[in-house]
Amino acid sequence: MLDVRPSPIAGTWYDANPKTLAASIDSYLNKARLPEINGRVVAVIAPHAGHRYSGQVAAHAFKALDGLTPNLVVILSPYHNYSSHHLLVTMHQAYSTPLGNIEIDQAALAELKSALDVPIMPITNDKEHSLEIELPFLQRVLKNDFKLLPIMVRGQEPEVAKRLGDALAAILKNKNAIIVASTDLSHFYDQRTANALDHEMLNRFESFAPESIFEAEMTGKGFACGHAAVASMLWAARELGANKVQILNYATSGDITGDQSSVVGYGAAVVTMESKVS
């Protein structure tokens, strides 16, 4: 029997009924229309609001994984609560969603801890939504059994993100793995302001320059609550051979609710390794 982390958000952030949840996610995926994606998919960026708000945007990221069969999925998310630790991981052996349990890859976690000179603090019964919210999408789009390496990034320093990215690249080089970076964009600006801030941040993602993400955040040119998680993913992906970030979809909560006076931005992207033609 696995020690399972119970879901604190099923029934609020997404549907608690397995059949309804599966149907809603499949509907999001079926409606997502992707541009042509060339090269091998290494990672995706997905938002993490309640499925009602960001589910359709998130579906664009996860649809890019359709047909893939990774043995391991790394999820890098922010940690929205206080902690004195830079990096956290669940102490449980599996995550539970209404669609079933996903086991933690303890061997991969041990490898990461050995490769990284920043401690990863294990915690129990965390309430973090930004990591869990992505799991039902993975459970619907990936048809094979896979294990999870879930890391919550509390530290916002570029040095921590770079170390995490480098360590991830080192342990993933010989693994059949995908990385998911979980982030929303700007929070609680009016629609016009949010669009400007969010497109600046999405441009930083697309430039494949992790350092520029921190610069945008620190200077107020763009915002992303998971900017350190995205930067870590980009550093890892670059070491793994990826060379392109492609924005797949963007919307705000105002596009869903109709209230554009105070919105949250959502973006989806895919990170690929394209063959360079000489």
Q: What is the mean pLDDT of the chain?
A: 97
Q: What is the per-residue pLDDT for 277?
A: 54
pTM recorded for the entire structure:
0.97
Q: How far apart are CA 79 and CA 126, in angstroms?
A: 10
Contact 193, 120 (CB under 8 A): no
**Residues whose CB falls within 8 Å of the CB of residue 270, separated by 6 or more in sequence, listed in order:** 37, 41, 43, 44, 45, 61, 64, 245, 246, 248
DSSP codes, 93-113: SEEEETTEEEEB-HHHHHHHH
Q: How far apart are CA 126 and CA 119, in angstroms?
A: 18
pLDDT tens digits for range 41-86: 999 999 999 999 999 999 999 999 999 999 999 999 999 998 899 9
In sign, the C-alpha dihedral spanning 78, 62, 2, 116 is negative
Beta carbons within 10 angstroms of residue 157's beta carbon: 12
Residue 278 has pLDDT above 60, yes or no: no
The mean per-residue pLDDT over the stretch 25-31 comes to 98
4-273 has which fold? Answer: Protocatechuate 4,5-dioxygenase; Chain B (3.40.830)
Q: What percent of the chain is predicted at pLDDT more than 90?
A: 96
pLDDT tens digits for range 123-136: 999 999 999 999 99
Beta carbons within 10 angstroms of residue 147's beta carbon: 18
